[in-house]
Structure 1
Amino acid sequence: MFDAPPTVDAVVVTAPRLPDAPAAAVFSSVQIEPRLLSARPRVDDALKSAPGASLFRRTGSGIANPTTQGLSLRSIAPSGAGRALVTLDGAPLNDPFGGWVIWTQVQPATLGGAQIVRGAGAGPFGAGALTGVVRLQTADGTNDDLQLELAGGDEGYGRAAVLARGAGRRLLLAGAYERFDGEVPVRGPRRGAADTAIGLESTGLSAAFGDQLGDVAVGLRIAGWREKRGAGLVGADSVASGKSVAVSAARLAEDGRPGWRLQAWAMESDLRNGSVATAAGRTGTTPANDQYATPAQGYGLNAALRGAWWEIGVDGRLFEGESRERFRNMGGAFTRTRVAGGQASVAGLYGEAWRESGPLLLTAGARLDRWSSSDAKRQERDIATGGLVLDERTADQDGTTPTARAGVRYALASDFFLRAAAYSGFRPATLNELHRPFRVGNDITEANAGLEPERLFGGELGAGGDLAGLAWSVTAFATRLEDAIANVTIGVGPGTFPVAGFVPAGGVLRQRQNVGQIEAVGLEAEASRDVTDRLRLRAALSATDARVDGGGQAAQLTGKRPAQAPIWTATAGGEWQMGERLTAALDLRYESGRWEDDLNTRRLSPALTADLRLDATVSRRARLFLAVDNLFDANVETAETADGVESFAPGRLVRAGIVLRR
């Protein structure tokens, strides 16, 4: 796991794509190997081996609410919507309504690797790649095969997954079912009748087809998913579902002829999310909000033409959706309905060039994007009479945003290099941030249809190489995030507020706002080494000091750290081939304390976790495994309410299973 660019063979794969351009070597990247991905039931758990990669909260997608599964990099300012773009063979996996990623839609066993590109993604990645890009790649098999995984474990855990590749590698089918009864997140004497376990039941299916038509590779991928989960409170749960399709074609450069790629994709998603209010002393819950549907659609197109020293391209995305809900519980029943939503679009063109001269590599590129948010509406009606009690129509917004990136890499020797890069990027607000209010317990967060896009400016210096078999890299970076979108506290319960209504005791009222800017400086380091042909060790460190300057909009936040942004994150791990048939892997992760809220009043304690996995090859066709997550049963604090009630991630979880291959 080091800063050198990954090698990509020029082969036909399930989803056609161009190999990495030489310019990729200038920017900070981390490669997650297939064996690390396949050892985890969920992709986001494997990505956390890179310290700066994390979901909004400490919980992984196995127990996190769908709306907090957005991925961010570098701990500059994590967000439920995510500030990183996640793609699979070039097609975005980010939800068209919320920007988060429903990780059930992609199975780790189907992947041939993951590349984490850190820093704003001007150039080929475009809008949304504010703190970086996670590029997932479909694996290319060499033979027809069939793989079946069956697993079970503590707390009612169960998993069944199948992967089949056939028709001369042209067809790939995958599916997985997972369930987990879960644990109650609130522990000790503060737990009450309001508290219950967070459970999960998920299903993901996908099919991919690829073929070669002359010198053009073509591919088709379709996927569908559904996951139901609890929220840790009686009566609060969510269901996220969706489907997607991506069609791709590519031709590699050959004999002086440029290569090209063309891709079209579409995604449809829905979210049902029910929330409750908790009584004093957590003696019970009352239904507070029923977001019974959040239908959304996303459509996109991207194309690129690449020569020997240049690449030009275009891309566009269109999103539309709305939140439909029942709220204002009075007398044991909801009394109002709300429909809020609109459209958003972004389209851009870019050009990038590079030049290699001996040990020197230079690159520069620029983008120009046109964005808009339109057709915004928020209508609230009285259920009994059908009368309209609120009808907000926010004016359409649009703008044109230029971004750019440039860098240099110099190889002082075959095993040592220096590099420098500068970049800018932007992220328009998601439909969720613009239109959907939400509630967690007694805390209420209001939407804001007037949000402006975020913009990031940054630069970094890096070095790396190979020292007697030790692959290493170090990067120092500085960034400024302007018009950062954050959940800002604007009221404290109990009390009644305009639009939001009543906020109970122990709750706060927040609104999504552009809060001036967030400045961050940081350091990243990675190292890995094959100690012997049977033992491989790796370690990584991320340190990020991020501070908010709220300006006149949110002066109360000036000098504070962004919510959910730890300063220190460190990971370490190793794989040991203990014998011809037995392999052991250990992963450690440490996070320093972080703040739960924007005002830095709710502190989450530091956490150190260890995960262990043993794999035993029984025969050429069968393998057994034993995995222990949170090996030492550490207390990992994930949330804290205004009245001091803490929630925790699950403790030790033991899983065991078998993998069969034909």
Structure 2
Amino acid sequence: MPLDIPPPVDAVVVTAARLPAPLADAAFSIARVDGEDLARASRVDEAITATPGVSLFRRTSSLSANPTTQGVSLRGIAPSGAGRALVLLDGVPLNDPFGGWVIWSQLAPSAVSGADIVRGAGAGPYGAGALTGVISLRERDAGGAFELARAQRGEVDASGDGVVKLGQAQVYGALSFQDSDGYTPVRGPARGAADTKTSLTTRSASVRVDAPTGLGTLSVRASTFDDKRGAGLAGANANASGDILSATLAQAPRGRRPGWRLQVWRQASDLFNSSVAVAANRASTTPANSQDRTPAVGEGANLAIRLQSGALQWEVGADARRNKGEERERFRYLNGAYNSQRTAGGETSVAGVYVDGAWQAGTWLVAGGLRADHWESRGGYRVERSLITGALLLNETPADRQGDLMSFRLGARKTLEGGATLRAAAYSGFRPPTLNELHRPFRVGNDVTESNPNLKPEALKGLELGFGRDGATGRGEVTVFWNRIEDAIANVTIGVGPGTFPRAGFIPAGGVLRQRLNISAIEAVGVEGQARREVAGVVLRAAFAVTDARVVGAGLAPQLEGKRPAQAPIWSATAGLTAPLAAKLSLDLDVTYEGKRFEDDLNSRVLSPAAKIDARLEWRPTPHARIYLAADNLLDKNVEVSRTVDGIAGLDAPRTVRMGIGYSY
């Protein structure tokens, strides 16, 4: 379980080209996930979401979640399929250039040596997209690991990665494969012939070359992934694929010599996603739309210069990103064939400059940062034609839009007696809408959500106060925060089926029509805390988050005033232990609880509170080898993840037992 601890403040010698974590981050709320946490998880997102308040859009992990709902948000303020947090791998964004979500299967847990979760808007060196925070992942620099596991329902997991030294240079490579027959989300009497399994087949590969040069360390990385899955309904499937190419030249600061980083990257992605309409008795499905292609490209660059001068560390930098893509879709299935086709897309970009600094003297650390960004949305289009006659049905070319935004962060930390710390922070940040939110409508079952090319960037401002203590046998922290997201992008209900609506067409009985809109604001007040203590060789851990998020000044959607954002629980908590049972045998036990969520914006569909227990028994015959037996959802509880208008609940995975072997060096 990740713990709130101050990040290291001294430069760390690394092999890959990256700058050390900035000193300024220590003044803000940070949770760290280490390599052991990641090694115990079957997916990277499962390790990260062990932190209460950190979640994907739904309760499901990426093992069964649709690619378009794998965006991650922090503090449970207002989860979104696009995600409201920026996810970086050694500085390179992993958020999809079209939709903003993250395809977590592109990373094997063993390939990630650690993660820093910076909660609160990520102004300063992080910038656009870091609305509720930043998840900064670090790829392995040394050693390697291999793992093979088998689980119920035909699941096979295999991964391997390692470093090979070539003189002063090194090559790092990673491979992963996962295949599963999956489970059926709708179970019990409600299940019909329409309900099928959430099958999964994923593959990923990456290679990175690190080489010293006269200017610093150069790292060149290439990766690719392919993710195929069934959605749990007959005829509903998804296939996400992509690749990333990046180059980083960096040198850590030393003495009076400044450090710096120059980084460029290119990310290409594609998505096939088919949706179906479900018959009232769930006896059958009918094709609703087929998103045949979603080619998109994201490109970016950043430059940072960092200097340590006595008690002062400062960093100045600039960054730019551009995303371009379109969707190609067939829809309106009538008389055994699709009757219409759609192409929609455009281009977005954002560029900014920043200055960020920290001053440390005695027991005080004071940090601050300021950013200026320019964003644009241009070249948008949505064209729909009849596949029967070729006639033009819709031709929209929204006006280009642009704007300028300022954001900041300011924090202070005071070290008290006995290892205690007191911390306060204020910050702001923003997230421009994705191409997906601007231009692509989508369908889930009988529910349709329309796009909106006139969306504005979301903006967050927040305050927080934290207290922590770090002792010889334990540590912990508690943080109280207030956040406000202005112009929050939400899926707002504008119609109920059966009926025919402009642009969207026919909505069947049991379905609803929504549109993405900028509502006035979402305000959240919360408290989060984590603790860890070792007693007689047993490691105890606990964490909780209480976040009361509400829509205020609903503006374009007055019906949402006072409502909670969809998929945003108030309560979440975890507790666990790691206990040695014998010299080489250990037990991990974790209990997770979450309060009720609402499936929809009107808070009319309730997802019941959920609790589950995960257990893992591990035997280490040698310091490098391990054999384990694990059970997720040990007591086989029904965890609701979705609910239709007619009350049918979709469930998370039932009890899953897996056995695996691993070797690390």
Give the one of 584, 587, 612 matched to 1:584.
587
**Match in the other structure for 1:39:** 40
Mapped contact 1:14–1:139 kept (Cα < 8 A): no
**Match in the other structure for 2:386:** 382
- Does residue 1:566 correspond to 2:569, yes or no? yes
Q: Which amino acid in 2 is paired with 1:598?
A: D
TM-score, with normalisation over the residues of structure 1? Answer: 0.97
Q: Which amino acid in 1 is paired with 2:378?
A: S
Mapped contact 2:12–2:20 kept (Cα < 8 A): no
Map 1:86-101 to 2 at 5 A: 86-101=87-102
Mapped partners of 2:258, 2:279: distance in 1: 65
**Match in the other structure for 1:226:** 226
- Does residue 1:658 correspond to 2:661, yes or no? yes
Mapped partners of 2:587, 2:555: distance in 1: 54
- Does residue 1:313 correspond to 2:317, yes or no? yes
Partner secondary structure for residue 281 of structure 2: helix
Mapped partners of 1:310, 1:621: distance in 2: 41
Deviation of 1:8 (Å): 6.9
Mapped partners of 2:222, 2:28: distance in 1: 32
Mapped partners of 2:356, 2:649: distance in 1: 49
Partner secondary structure for residue 167 of structure 1: strand
Deviation of 1:661 (Å): 5.3
Mapped partners of 2:553, 2:292: distance in 1: 35
Partner secondary structure for residue 150 of structure 2: strand
Which deviations, in whole Å up to 9, do the C-alpha atoms of 1:159-202 show, x marking residues without a partner? Answer: 11121321257111111110111111111211111111111111
Give the one of 435, 438, 442 matched to 2:446.
442
Mapped contact 1:88–1:137 kept (Cα < 8 A): yes
Partner secondary structure for residue 282 of structure 1: coil
Which deviations, in whole Å up to 9, do the C-alpha atoms of 1:375-403 show, x marking residues without a partner? Answer: 00000011122221110010001000000
- Does residue 1:276 correspond to 2:256, yes or no? no
Deviation of 1:530 (Å): 2.1
Give the one of 419, 426, 430 matched to 1:422.
426
Deviation of 1:217 (Å): 1.3
Mapped contact 1:13–1:139 kept (Cα < 8 A): no
TM-score, with normalisation over the residues of structure 2? Answer: 0.97
In the superposition, relative to structure 1, how do residues 634 and 381 fare at CA in structure 2: closer, same or farther (>3 Å)? same
Mapped contact 2:119–2:132 kept (Cα < 8 A): yes
Which deviations, in whole Å up to 9, do the C-alpha atoms of 1:592-632 show, x marking residues without a partner? Answer: 00100000000000001111112212345642111111111
In the superposition, relative to structure 1, how do residues 564 and 167 fare at CA in structure 2: closer, same or farther (>3 Å)? same
**Match in the other structure for 2:173:** 173
- Does residue 1:163 correspond to 2:161, yes or no? yes
Mapped contact 2:9–2:23 kept (Cα < 8 A): no
Which structure 2 residue ranges, 5 or more long, are not aligned? none
Which deviations, in whole Å up to 9, do the C-alpha atoms of 1:282-315 show, x marking residues without a partner? Answer: 1100001000000000001011101122110111
Mapped contact 2:200–2:227 kept (Cα < 8 A): yes
**Match in the other structure for 2:292:** 292
Mapped partners of 1:35, 1:505: distance in 2: 49
- Does residue 1:346 correspond to 2:347, yes or no? no
Give the one of 389, 412, 416 matched to 2:416.
412
Q: Which amino acid in 2 is paired with 1:363?
A: A
C-alpha RMSD of the superposition: 1.4
Map 1:206-221 to 2 at 5 A: 206-214=206-214, 216-221=216-221
More divergent stretch after superposition (207-216 vs 1-10): 1-10
Mapped partners of 1:215, 1:516: distance in 2: 49
**Match in the other structure for 1:397:** 401
**Match in the other structure for 2:466:** 462
Mapped partners of 1:480, 1:249: distance in 2: 37
Deviation of 1:412 (Å): 1.7
Which deviations, in whole Å up to 9, do the C-alpha atoms of 1:391-427 show, x marking residues without a partner? Answer: 0010001000000110111112250111110000000
Aligned pairs, how many? Answer: 658
Deviation of 1:358 (Å): 1.3
Mapped partners of 1:526, 1:113: distance in 2: 18
Deviation of 1:149 (Å): 1.6
Which structure 1 residue ranges, 5 or more long, are not aligned? none
| Percent identical residues | 53
Map 1:138-217 to 2 at 5 A: 138-141=139-142, 147-167=145-165, 170-214=170-214, 216-217=216-217
Mapped contact 2:321–2:351 kept (Cα < 8 A): yes
Partner secondary structure for residue 503 of structure 2: coil
Mapped partners of 2:10, 2:636: distance in 1: 42
Map 1:596-607 to 2 at 5 A: 596-607=599-610
**Match in the other structure for 1:610:** 613
**Match in the other structure for 2:22:** 21
Which deviations, in whole Å up to 9, do the C-alpha atoms of 1:16-45 show, x marking residues without a partner? Answer: 111122211110000011101011121000
**Match in the other structure for 1:74:** 75
